[in-house]
Structure 1
Amino acid sequence: MEPKLDWQRGGRRRRTIVAAALVLPLIAGCSSVGQGQAARFGLVHAASDRAVHMGDLWTGGWIAALAIGVLVWGLIGYAVIRFRRRSGDPEIPHQTRYHLPLEVVYTIVPFLIIGVLFFYTVRTQNSVLEKDAKPQHQINVVGQKWSWTFNYMEADNPAAGGVVTHEIGTLEKIPDLYLPVNESVRFNLHSADVIHSFWVPAFYFKLDVIPGHPNSFDLTPTKVGTYDGKCAEFCGTYHANMIFKVHVVPVAEYNAYLKTLKDQKQTGEIKPAKSVDALTVNAKESEPK
């Protein structure tokens, strides 16, 4: 057996280094992912009753994509190895012009895949958008350039002060949205100007906020904690400022927070036009003189 040359040994060493450079970041990334997040294909912990439907669709989609990918890569690898050119083969291999069974298969299979994905997508959409007959709470949300207004419609809830209260966010002040855990909430979305999108990643749900076209959805927060909320639709210069904090708290704490808003005279519903006026006033007041 001939001894390996230095350049051959160096090539093997280089390949080992390159392989390590590719694999180690993947291992580090997996170890840095939150508890069970890798199993959820990157999704954060769920915090709403509708999240289970979206999570199942997301996970199922990834599994289907990986299965199809492995099949395609396997067929490519098989074709590369099985039909590679060998010594003595002619310059041009035998040409097959038509193969009807194969053409039927690769025409039908994509339609079957699309049909299955469409079925599960529609089923998930119907489950996520299903409305509760009598939601326990109602919050009217207004998206405006460039923050959010939250109106707590609790006039019939003496425990929360028995009045409608609100909080208006500004460019300088990130608004807080308080929600009671394990109680259903209906969100009514209104826009004061352009299209925004109400998104809380932990709820696995977002919905567009369209001017002149009110949208609504129901969900029940299921996990106490503080979560990020944001606008998922590019809406202009300060789109990045359209963030808010979601606090899922026990019902008693939710009611106490609304009473605090009442004590601060933040009562009455702020509608789209008024929210824009209030945001403009707050922005002007914060400008340097």
Structure 2
Amino acid sequence: MRNNRRLRWAAIPIAATLAVVLAGCTQAQLNGFLPGFEEGESPVTNNTSMVSGLWVTSWIVLLVVGVITWGLTIWAVIVYRRRKGQTGLPVQLRYNMPIEIFYTIVPLILVLGFFAFTARDQTAIETPYAEPDVKINVVAKQWAWDFNYVDEDVYSPGIQGQYDDSSNDGSGGLVESELPTLYLPVGKKIEISLNARDVIHSFWVIDFLYKKDMFPGKTNYMYVTPEREGTYKGKCAELCGEYHSAMLFNVKVVSEAEYESHIQDLRDAGFEGQLGAEYDRNTNLPGTKAPVTEEGE
């Protein structure tokens, strides 16, 4: 009778696991409910599937470990519970060498495995393009973004997100049309250099599933190939001051013709050249001379 009860308790987690596996998954579920994946649509960039695969595989492994751990814990609680009429402490066991080796070696293997796969994918994502099709320079500032289109020698100056004051109750949100917008051509290899004018910021396009910190005096890089046209939301992912939450932007992945049209619009508006370090707020970085008057020169 006791063996039958044990079998019933063991069957519960097994049945639950089978039910989840056999239920079938949507595209969102297969990719761990991460943004950037819609039914019937291609991934947003060449890197999103890689990031999603690493995320989902890690959770599957951890779920298996969790189910085994929970199952053994519940099994021990039920099987070795105090029964009616029992008194005193049960027989105490210690120094089970096989079990101690098991719970030392298995976590070590898991950690090494997570590290190896993470290092592999990170190396692939961070490898520079030998010949990028488009070079973009993104400059963060409190609390907006400047976008330099390097090859075309034009720029798009950004202003801080503006709130809609037309509502009398003060509930107006940010005006979407006022947010800085970065245009990228679909299917092209993009090299994005990242700089900050004042404090630490972080460039995060949510659906790209990747972000990169931006430090004053240092240039970081991102390498990405957008694979699906659309408008994607971006934000600063590093607390950078009072209006950090309003430091938003959009990324528009468009056809090459529309990209060229946008470049021409910037040129027609007089935004030729590049917005460089002369607008940085910091004056105490290495190599920066203190401001002097003409007499002092």
Fold match, TM over 0.5? yes
**Unaligned runs of at least 5 residues, structure 1:** 1-34, 156-163, 278-289
Give how far 1:39 is off.
2.4
The Cα offsets for residues 73-104 of structure 1, whole Å up to 9 and x where unpaired, read as 11111111211111232321111132122111
Structure that is richer in helix per residue: 1
The number of aligned residues is 236
Q: Does 1:125 align with 2:122?
A: yes
Q: Which residue of 2 aligns with 1:39?
A: 30
Which of 231, 234, 240 aligns to 1:235? It is 240
Q: What is the alpha-carbon distance in structure 1 between the residues aligned to residue 49 and residue 61 of structure 2?
A: 18
Identity %: 39
Matches within 5 A, 1:110-259: 110-155=107-152, 164-171=153-160, 172=162, 173-259=178-264
Q: Which residue of 2 aligns with 1:158?
A: none
Give how far 1:275 is off.
6.2
Q: Is the 8 A contact 2:198 2:280 kept in 1?
A: no
Q: Is the 8 A contact 1:188 1:216 kept in 2?
A: yes
SS for the counterpart of 1:59 is: helix
Give how far 1:272 is off.
3.6
Q: Which residue of 2 aligns with 1:69?
A: 66
Q: Is the 8 A contact 2:203 2:236 kept in 1?
A: yes
RMSD of equivalent CA atoms: 1.7
Q: What is the alpha-carbon distance in structure 2 between the residues aligned to residue 272 and residue 245 of structure 1?
A: 23
SS for the counterpart of 1:208 is: strand
**Unaligned runs of at least 5 residues, structure 2:** 1-25, 37-42, 163-177, 283-297
Q: Which runs of 4+ in 1 moved over 3 A?
A: none
Which of 259, 275, 279 aligns to 1:274? It is 279
Q: What is the alpha-carbon distance in structure 1 between the residues aligned to residue 124 and residue 139 of structure 2?
A: 25
Which of 52, 55, 76 aligns to 2:52? It is 55
Q: Which residue of 2 aligns with 1:3?
A: none
Q: Is the 8 A contact 1:53 1:127 kept in 2?
A: no
Assess, with a 3 A threshold, how the Cα gap between structure 1 residues 256 and 276 changes in structure 2: closer, same or farther. Answer: farther
TM-score between the two structures when normalised by the length of structure 1: 0.78
TM-score between the two structures when normalised by the length of structure 2: 0.76
